[in-house]
Every structure is written in structure tokens, then in C-alpha cells.
């Protein structure tokens, strides 16, 4: 399979989520969400 390993992506995703600062305004949260979606592609 040439797709990136699912578990690797999951780990990367969890790490990205962990880095989101608490109490972000909605607008900035949207930017983070877009980045997370990119990781999961």
C-alpha cells in the first residue's frame, strides 16, 4: 500500500490537536481545523 500508514497519521493528528492552545477564538480554531484536515488527507 502506498497510502501513509493510518496509525502514523493518527499519531500526527493527536500531536497536532495537543498543540492547539486552549481558549482559542473561533476564527483561529478554524485555521487549526483546516490544518488537521490536511493531515488526515
Count of helices and strands (H, E) across the chain:
2, 0
pTM reported for the whole predicted model: 0.54
Sign of the C-alpha dihedral, residues 20, 22, 27, 28?
Answer: negative
Q: What's the domain count of the chain?
A: 1
pLDDT one-digit tens code per residue, 1-41: 456 688 888 888 898 889 888 888 888 888 888 988 887 77
pLDDT of residue 4: 66
Q: Give the CA diameter of the chain.
A: 39
Residue 35 maps to a domain: yes
CB 37 within 8 A of CB 10: no
Residue 28 maps to a domain: yes
Structural domain that includes position 25: 6-40
d(CA 33, CA 22): 14
pLDDT of residue 3: 66
Residue 21 maps to a domain: yes
Residue 1 maps to a domain: no
Amino acid at each position: 500500500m502506498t497510502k501513509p500508514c493510518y496509525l502514523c497519521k493518527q499519531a500526527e493528528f493527536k500531536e497536532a490537536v495537543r498543540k492547539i492552545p486552549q481558549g482559542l477564538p473561533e476564527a483561529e480554531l478554524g485555521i487549526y481545523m483546516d490544518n488537521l484536515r490536511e493531515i488526515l488527507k
